[in-house]
Chains A and B, each alone.
Chain A
Amino acid sequence: MSDVMSMVVGEIVLNRELVPRHFLMRVKLPASLAIPLPGQFVMVRIRGRIEPLLGRPLSIYAFERDKTALVIELLYRTMGKGTFALSRLKPGEDLEILGPLGHGFDIFPEIKKIVLLAGGIGVVPLSFLASHYRKLPTNDHRIIAYLGAKSADHIVGMDRLKETCTEIKISTDDGSSGYRGFVTELLAEDIESYLHGDSVIYACGPRAMMKRLAELLKDQDISCQVSVEERMACGVGACLGCAIHVKAGGDKTQYRCACQDGPVFDIRDIVWN
């Protein structure tokens, strides 16, 4: 069957720790792989190993393509045994890659203020999104990034954001850089300026951050898309492991898959409690 895709083998060309527990990985893949869209992810396994067993879903940070290869960049934080094993790999070692997967961010070229709200490693898909907006033919978007982290030494992705964003605002839990407190508080100070139909908010970060954002936007008229994170086994909607609780009309709710129906959802569709 000509339309059968397959898992591909990718070669690691870079795997470097940027700040403690945060790694930048570049993986060289066959050029035939589909071009990733902002918000999409790949399932990553270490080739030939049975442990860790399952692939790990990693958000795509950036990509480059030429006639012979597609090189994707993955920026990840070590969380458990899977990401820790990935962090030990050296250039030249092989990965098994399935993807790009999932439903990425909707793009609104006509909306001129693009607001990004990133918590920690949540900066990854948002940075990809910012560069996508910057490459649009009009290229007249104001891109304002709100970046929250535990402390100054946990901030990642600043260099890329500086290339694409009009403005970057920082908050840290301990005040070691920028505003001291939650990044949602920083956004709350400016929210009035985004409520005139010319802005869209994109967010990715810890669930607590996104829940606070949902509360902040509850009675506000502004569209907001969030990228969620869940443990996954298959990445394609078969295992139903990555359930996200969403509204289904009236008082009804249902589960959707983060992998196939997301990972990007409208913030108002998700049941946050």
Chain B
Amino acid sequence: MKNKKEQINNSEPSMAVDIGGLILKNPLMTASGTFGYGKEYAPYIDINRLGALIVKGLSLEARKGNPPPRIMETPCGMLNAIGMENVGVRAFIDEKLPFLRSFDVAVIANIFGETINEYKKIAAILSTVEGIHGLEINISCPNVKRGGIAFGAHPDTAYEVTGAVKSFTDLPVIVKLTPNVGDIAEIAESVEAAGADAISLINTLTGMSVDIEQRAPHLKNITGGLSGPAIKPIALRMVWEVVNRVSIPVIGVGGIIDANDALEFLIVGARAVQIGTANFINPRATLDILEGIDNYLKRHHMKDINDLIGTLKDGR
């Protein structure tokens, strides 16, 4: 028989977090573009245990994507230039969403447009269907000629897209920011002013890799988006900058491979984390990280993950 103190210490910590009105059972999300439409990883992971599943970025019409080679490994990271290949929002609703509805998980649609009007239309379409719990506005993809980063690189256009999407949906809206800017906190303030319910950062950093024998870029697109552990310190710094400037929840993304990485983001102030490239190297990465956070909370006698978020001690 355990005494009362031991019982408290051994009880499961609460992992629930509130992301702009969307209550998640835990802060572990799959980053868009790294988990397909969910079905690809369903044989490897119990999807019901995720906090949220963010699907591959959706455009109004299907997109073919960029020619191969599309990926290249770099030191502790990878470059990709997929080019927003996706089935289009209607095919997603008809062919992919029914499968996701069978799970008890928050499904967040990442949306992408070449014009503000396209963002509005996709938001309107997704807001009328059952099984979508939130939208993530992609204004940060570096691999397309039009749209994406073109909107996310300037506070005014970021404001405009966010406001436009907000006026066409009642769903919680997360805006995903690009690190390829001078002052990411300025963009964050702008999308907060436009009504964003939450912010996720960072998307990939634009990078390049050259085949010295061929004297040619490894990627057909020449440049690509860098992800993986190589970008984690940058992502962490940017999350820290942004949480100090906005009041809405911030979701940390960028190079999180294990629970220690995720804990750094939570301590700095991220209310949730997205796992991206780590899914590719370990389909169970999200759940392994979740278990690691759970162990950390128990080790530090914390009953609620919210007691940990934003507890960074300054001035060391």
Contacts and interface: CB of A to CB of B under 8 A. Distances in A.
A1 B280 CA distance: 21
A142 B109 CA distance: 53
A236 B40 contact: yes
A241 B82 contact: yes
Contacts of B77: 53
A255 B283 contact: no
B34 A230 contact: no
B214 to A, nearest CB: 13
B131 interface: no
Interface in A30-69: 45, 50-55
Contacts of B78: 53-54, 233
Taking residues whose C-beta sits less than 8 angstroms from the other chain, chain B's interface range is: 35 or more
Contacts of A80: 73
Contacts of B281: 45, 53-55
Contact of A239 (B46, B69, B82): B82
Nearest to A51: B76
Contact of A237 (B36, B73, B277): B36
Interface in B17-40: 33-36, 40
B64 A233 contact: no
A50 B257 contact: yes
Contact of B283 (A7, A233, A244): A7
Interface residues of A, number: 36
A3 B72 contact: no
Contacts of B40: 234, 236-238, 260
A243 interface: yes
A50 B278 CA distance: 10
A80 B78 CA distance: 14
Nearest to B47: A1
B96 interface: no
Interface of A: 1, 3-7, 45, 50-55, 80-82, 96, 98, 230-234, 236-245, 254-255, 260
Interface of B: 33-36, 40-41, 43-46, 56, 64-73, 75-78, 80, 82, 85, 228-229, 257, 277, 279-284
Question: What 10 A-B pairs are tightest by C-beta distance, nearest first?
Answer: A241-B71, A238-B36, A234-B280, A238-B40, A233-B280, A243-B68, A237-B40, A1-B46, A240-B82, A236-B40
23 contacts: A4-B44, A4-B46, A7-B44, A51-B76, A98-B44, A230-B68, A231-B72, A232-B71, A233-B78, A233-B277, A233-B280, A234-B40, A236-B44, A239-B34, A239-B80, A240-B33, A240-B70, A240-B82, A241-B82, A243-B67, A243-B85, A255-B64, A255-B65
